[in-house]
Amino acid sequence: MTPVEARDLTHAERAYVAAAKDLAFILYEGTRTPHRSCGIALAETFGLPTRAYQALRKGGISGEGACGAIRAGEQVLGELVGDPDPTGAVTPALREAILWYQRTYPARIDRGDAPDILCNTLVRRHGDFAGPSRKAYCTNLAAEVAALTAEALLRFAPELAPTIRPLQGEPIPPPAAAPIAGPSAPG
* CA angle at 151 for the pair 150 and 157, rounded to the nearest 5°: 85
pLDDT at 178 over 50: no
Note the pLDDT of residue 186: 40
* Phi, psi (deg, nearest 5) at residue 164: -90, 130
Average pLDDT over residues 103-118: 93
Note the pLDDT of residue 140: 96
pLDDT at 183 over 50: no
Q: How far is CA 96 from CA 34, 91, 151, in A?
A: 35, 9, 12
Coil vs helix vs strand at 109: coil
Average pLDDT over residues 141-167: 97
pLDDT at 113 over 80: yes
Q: How far is CA 146 from CA 99, 138, 182, in A?
A: 16, 12, 23
Q: Write down the H helix ranges in 49-113.
A: 57-60, 68-81, 92-108
Question: CA-CA distance, 141 to 124, in Å (whole number)?
Answer: 14
pLDDT at 180 over 70: no
Q: What is the helix (H) or strand (E) element at residue 13, kind and residue range?
A: helix 11-29
Note the pLDDT of residue 179: 47
Q: Which stretches does DSSP call E strand in the chain?
A: none
Mean pLDDT of the chain: 91
pLDDT at 187 over 60: no
The full set of domain ranges for the chain reads: 10-160
Note the pLDDT of residue 181: 44
6-34, pLDDT tens digit by residue?
Answer: 889 999 999 999 999 999 999 999 999 99
Note the pLDDT of residue 153: 98
45-90, pLDDT tens digit by residue?
Answer: 999 999 999 999 988 888 888 999 999 999 999 999 999 999 999 9
Do residues 146 and 42 touch, judged by C-beta distance below 8 A?
yes
Coil vs helix vs strand at 118: strand
**Among candidates 64, 78, 14, 68, which has minimal Cα distance to 41?**
68
